[in-house]
Amino acid sequence: MREIIFDTETTGFDPHNGDRMVEIGCVEMIDRVMTGETYHCYYNPQRAMPAAAEQVHGLSDIFLSDKPLFAEKAAEFLRFIGDAPLVAHNASFDFGFINMELEKCGHTPVDTARMIDTIAIARVKHPGAKMSLDALCTRYGIDRSHRVKHGALLDAELLAHLYIELTGGRQIGLSLVEESEREESHDRATGIETHSDRPFRKARPHQPSVEELERHSAFITGIKDALWNDTGRLS
């Protein structure tokens, strides 16, 4: 199943009060495995960036001044997400901004039935715990040392790892290819060479032949006080 894990950065908290989306990052996942396909874009919000928002994501008016308008990239974004379910952390916030931007440029809003909220999942699994992306990444041992400021694509990648853990862990996404890669890695570590293209050979028989039994019996007979001839001493 194809899913899109995404995150947005904005000028503020309320899309109905003049705030705009300034960045979006999307990560494609199929059967709980990240494919490496991503979508990322910055947008000119056509308004000033509040200092508080800039402090969070580091996107300044100067940086965004030459970026495209959302309307110019809306079709590209819609092609990437297709009809896949959309996964976000506090998803109603991100959906609110995406649908506001889509409506502004004459596109149909994304159906909220496609929305999957990782906070809602985390609240069921960890009631009473901190629900921030940072806190949950720490809980699951997801490395976020390279995250200095919020960034939509980086946060979407972290969220993809978190989503995997929240929905059952890595075993859900394991494939035969991954299994093969682990075996090859183990072979390199141990120095054992394996060849998957070797022809299958049946195990050779290990029972002694009649001739071998006779030779063994003659050998034992020539040994003085051989233990093999004294069954009482072996019991």
Q: How far apart are CA 152 and CA 77, in angstroms?
A: 14
Distances (CA, A) of 31 to 88, 140, 170, 173: 17, 20, 11, 6
Q: How far apart are CA 183 and CA 154, in angstroms?
A: 30
- From the list 89, 126, 146, 150, the catalytic residue is 150
Strands, sheet with 115-117, edge to edge from the N-terminal-most edge strand: 33-42, 21-30, 2-10, 86-88, 115-117
Q: How far apart are CA 230 and CA 235, in angstroms?
A: 9
For this structure, is 16 an active site residue? no
Structure tokens at 100: 């506001």
Active-site positions? 150
